[in-house]
Structure 1
Amino acid sequence: MAARRRRRRLKKRTRRQLQLWGALAVGIAVVWVARHWSVVWPVLVAVLATAVVGGAGWVLLRAHRLAVGEDRAWRAQEEARVRELSMAEVDALSWQEFEAYVADLCRRDGCTKVVVSGKSGDLGADVVGYMADGRKLVIQCKKYAPHRSVSSQDMQKFVGTARLEHGADVALFVTTCRSFTKAALGLALRQDIVALHRDLLGAWAKGAHLETLMPLNGRGGGTRRRLPP
């Protein structure tokens, strides 16, 4: 107990000493500033001005970054909404009209000698033409409901005929549904088939060039989580 009381007294004494030294340091600083005020005040003003300007700049930068982030998110949602509105018109087409529509998109992007099969038994070549650089283009069109997925079986049929039967340099699988199954998309990637699902088709319909969409090949989905079918 005696040792504990001594430690407490020592702590109190040390605290009082620190307070005294602190007060002394503050007093000395006040006296020094008072004597050299003509030199100190410009420095203080400069420091305060720098702090105010820096703080204001940080606030503005933070607000700008927040506004840019919100604007990007809004633009992405708006673009998805516009694509989906354009796809509503596509959904109203018959499968024959859909094939003709895809052919028109190809012609718009500079493809030549574009022909539409318009019949069953075409061995997957619903639309055939040539890219602007001369490569032969073969397209399989599947007009499915938005909630469906292109199956591996659908993709296998197209893989088996696109190049061996039709001599395609560019094989394109276009669908109105939102996705390909994992197996179907994996097969498309391995066999160099360009897979355009609903989101990418919507972008194509709104003016994106086919050449810019081809490298995406199945990516960019997700409309289903934001918009109703």
Structure 2
Amino acid sequence: MTMSQRRTRPTHRGRRFDLRATAVFFGLLATALIAVGFAVRALAPVVQRRPVWVVVLLCVVVATLLAHGRRRRRLSAARIARRAGEALEQATTTALDALDAPAPAPVPVPVPARTYDDGVPAPEETYDYDVLDPDEFEAAIADLCVRDGCARVEVVGGAGDLGADVTALTPDGRRLVVQCKRYGDDNKVGSQDLQRFGGTCFTVHEADVALVVTTSDFTAPAVEYAEQCGIVCVNRDALLAWSGGRTPKPWAAGAYEA
């Protein structure tokens, strides 16, 4: 007796894991992500400068994707055209709104700090001279010269300066030599200070205008010597008036009476 053999259905084995294919897939995915990153980075300046173009481009891309999706679902050509027209109309409206928007306020540009000709930064123009040390006082006087139009302003005070703390050229081209005396109220500039300065300001420094500026005052003999030598004395009150712009510049003819 012959028995019929039962036909068995072949079993489908699952797809085997392919390490090489998986590695290639992730490599391509990483490459695509890097390319997208570079594209976004390159388009960032364009987005900042031309946001309207970006909006229009995005709308066109969205319309294209919608058309492609609808085509895959076998939508009619008329419907696709209508959708694209609606997207384009919306993009146009958005672009017009962006053009009507007010322009952004200009970003204020900071004004660079002033410097002397020797590269030293010029300090601010308002000072409390009582809290300045001698070096800061010299820098403050140099800044007043810069403010009032002097050229080639240099702070040269220090060891071996032979009495010259600040040198400059006045607006009319004369050589200005300044000695700065940061003294207290009870310490006046005496005649010996003026004599030492008078011995170098004209012969050594070749000054056309010699100036002694102090936060204190001058003794009577010092004033008398200054009158004889043609040195301009600027005491505390005259300095505050000069700093506040309430008096002629000390190198102007007859600006101060010694």
Range into which the TM-score falls when normalised by the shorter chain: 0.5 to 0.7
* Equivalent residue, structure 1, for 2:93: none
Give the C-alpha shift of residue 160 in structure 1. Answer: 0.2
* Equivalent residue, structure 2, for 1:215: 254
Alignment of 1:145 with 2:194, yes or no, is no
* Equivalent residue, structure 1, for 2:237: 199
More helix by share: 1
* Equivalent residue, structure 1, for 2:21: none
* Equivalent residue, structure 2, for 1:186: 224
Aligned counterparts of 2:186 and 2:148: Cα–Cα separation in 1: 28
* Equivalent residue, structure 2, for 1:81: none
Q: Report % sequence identity.
A: 47
Give the C-alpha shift of residue 110 in structure 1. Answer: 0.6
Aligned counterparts of 2:241 and 2:179: Cα–Cα separation in 1: 18
When the two structures are superposed, what TM-score results if normalisation uses the length of structure 2?
0.48
* Equivalent residue, structure 1, for 2:158: 119
Equivalent position amino acid for 1:101 in 2: A
Aligned pairs, number: 132
* Equivalent residue, structure 2, for 1:171: 210
When the two structures are superposed, what TM-score results if normalisation uses the length of structure 1?
0.54
Which one has more relative contact order, counting CA pairs under 8 Å at least 6 apart? 1
- Give unpaired runs (5+ residues) of structure 2: 1-125
Give the C-alpha shift of residue 210 in structure 1. Answer: 1.3
Give the C-alpha shift of residue 94 in structure 1. Answer: 0.8
Aligned counterparts of 1:182 and 1:117: Cα–Cα separation in 2: 28
The 1:191/1:171 distance shift into structure 2, 3 A limit, reads same
Aligned counterparts of 1:160 and 1:138: Cα–Cα separation in 2: 13
- Give unpaired runs (5+ residues) of structure 1: 1-85, 220-229
- Whether contact under 8 Å (1:185, 1:218) holds in the other structure is no
- Whether contact under 8 Å (2:232, 2:250) holds in the other structure is no
> Who wins on radius of gyration, i.e. which is larger?
2
Equivalent position amino acid for 2:158 in 1: K
* Equivalent residue, structure 1, for 2:199: 160
Matches within 5 A, 1:48-87: none
Aligned-residue Cα RMSD (Å) equals 1.8
Matches within 5 A, 1:13-24: none
- Whether contact under 8 Å (2:214, 2:234) holds in the other structure is yes
